């Protein structure tokens, strides 16, 4: 995981910020979720595949994992910062979610074993790990993508499948799997403005990082834009340009909040517009390395061969065979 993602992940680990995001994303701006309803969850999911000598444990790391009532909500932030388009995302998310459901089944099965042992004094063998009346907690996975290029990957499993020679009647028997992606830089302003002001400001600043006059114009439509929380501003400068930190003292009010329009004025005056764009270009180059590493690790975990994975890396990132081989030796572990 790249350094850019870390402040963003820490930001959304906060229950209040996570509630803001869910209210803006899932609830269309309505304040339905309160921070007191959000419980933290373990971000490490482990599952077992195969048996005997071929058995191996799989692990997945989710960026932010919370439970809201009887729903588990997962936020994947970019390489899991998705600043590159991951064309395998429907399968990745399906695999992640299946591990979570499998984990729930294993917990229920363990509880049943203990329960049966206490009642009968001996361990009862069950053919099914769960009972008819048992129910699993639903999982929602959200992908926050902030890349400059539009998200042009499939948003469901069917969009990833080759149906060219599949008979029409067969298609209805092939299950689909929908994913949820917020493409920040290509989402209409009106939709981003439905988020609470701090989140809306963050997203709009990322979207218009190379067009500061437009950013200022849009930000003026946000109520109380002169009082953005300091930690929101800190995430933005960490993600965009550390020179924004130097401006903070000049635009911070007595309560510690940040006047974002004042900050944009100073960014324009300092000629930071080009610097932001150049900083992002450097960041994208770094994200490319993370993307290659992530692709290699995912392909290996999903059972891909060494040679096929190297070929996929060459095609996806337009690399020579020698350069792709270098990455393979580094990350195929």
Between residues 28 and 289, which one has the greater pLDDT?
A: 28
Beta bridge partners of 184: none
Residue 97 has pLDDT above 60, yes or no: yes
Instruction: Provide the mean pLDDT of the chain.
Output: 81
Is the domain of 11 the same as that of 47?
A: yes
Residue 201 near residue 220 (C-beta atoms within 8 A): no
Is the domain of 278 the same as that of 291?
A: yes
Q: Can you tell me the distance from the alpha carbon of 27 to that of 86, in angstroms, rounded to the nearest whole number? A: 26
Q: List Cβ neighbours of 33 (8 Å cut-off, separation of 6 or more).
A: 19, 22, 23, 27, 68
Would you state the pLDDT for residue 252? Answer: 87
Between residues 309 and 194, which one has the greater pLDDT?
A: 194
Q: List Cβ neighbours of 302 (8 Å cut-off, separation of 6 or more).
A: 91, 95
Q: Can you tell me the distance from the alpha carbon of 273 to that of 208, in angstroms, rounded to the nearest whole number? A: 10
Hey, what long-range contacts does 155-161 have (CB within 8 A, 24 or more apart)? 155/90, 155/179, 155/180, 155/181, 156/90, 157/90, 157/91, 157/94, 159/90, 160/87, 160/88, 160/90, 160/91
- Look at the block and give the residue holding tokens 């509880």: 111
Helix (H, G, I), strand (E, B) or coil at 292: helix
Last residue of a domain, one of 226, 249, 270: 270
Q: Can you tell me the distance from the alpha carbon of 95 to that of 271, in angstroms, rounded to the nearest whole number? A: 45
Give pTM, 2 decimals.
0.72
Which structural domain, as residue segments, surrounds residue 164? 1-186
Rounded mean pLDDT, 181-191 = 94
Is the domain of 94 the same as that of 213?
A: no
Q: Which of 71-80, 82-91, 178-187, 306-315 has the highest mean pLDDT?
A: 178-187
Number of domains making up the chain: 3
Would you state the pLDDT for residue 284? Answer: 53
Would residue 193 count as lying in a domain? no
Would residue 195 count as lying in a domain? no
Lowest mean pLDDT among 16-20, 61-65, 224-228: 61-65
Dihedral sign, CA of 294, 26, 91, 129? positive
Would residue 317 count as lying in a domain? yes
Is the domain of 252 the same as that of 323?
A: no
Is the domain of 46 the same as that of 116?
A: yes
């Amino acid at each position: 995981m790249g350094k850019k993602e870390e402040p963003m992940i820490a930001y959304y680990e906060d229950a209040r910020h996570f509630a803001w995001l869910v209210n803006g994303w899932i609830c269309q701006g309505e304040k339905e979720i309160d921070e007191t309803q959000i419980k933290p969850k373990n971000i490490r999911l482990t599952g077992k595949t195969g048996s005997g000598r071929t058995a191996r444990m799989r692990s997945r790391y989710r960026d932010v994992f919370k439970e809201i009532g009887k729903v588990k909500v997962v936020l994947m932030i970019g390489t899991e910062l998705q600043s590159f388009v991951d064309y395998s995302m429907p399968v990745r998310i399906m695999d992640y979610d299946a591990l979570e459901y499998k984990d729930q089944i294993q917990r229920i099965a363990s509880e049943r074993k203990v329960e049966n042992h206490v009642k009968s004094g001996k361990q009862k063998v069950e053919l099914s790990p769960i009972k008819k009346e048992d129910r699993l907690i639903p999982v929602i996975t959200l992908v926050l993508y902030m890349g400059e290029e539009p998200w042009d990957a499939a948003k469901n499993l069917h969009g990833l499948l080759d149906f060219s020679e599949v008979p029409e009647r067969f298609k209805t028997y092939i299950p689909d799997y929908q994913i949820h992606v917020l493409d920040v830089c290509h989402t209409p302003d009106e939709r981003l403005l439905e988020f609470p002001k701090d989140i809306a400001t963050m997203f709009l600043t990322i979207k218009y990082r190379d067009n500061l006059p437009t950013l200022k114009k849009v930000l003026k439509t946000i109520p109380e834009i002169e009082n953005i929380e300091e930690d929101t501003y800190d995430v933005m400068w960490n993600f965009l340009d550390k020179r924004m930190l130097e401006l903070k003292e000049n635009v911070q009010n007595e309560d510690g909040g940040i006047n974002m329009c004042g900050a944009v004025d100073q960014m324009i005056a300092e000629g930071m517009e080009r610097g932001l764009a150049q900083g992002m270009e450097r960041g994208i180059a770094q994200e490319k390395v993370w993307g290659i590493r992530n692709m290699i690790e995912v392909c290996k975990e999903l059972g891909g061969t060494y040679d096929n994975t190297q070929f996929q890396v060459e095609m996806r990132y337009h690399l020579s065979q020698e350069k792709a081989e270098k990455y393979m030796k580094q990350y195929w572990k």
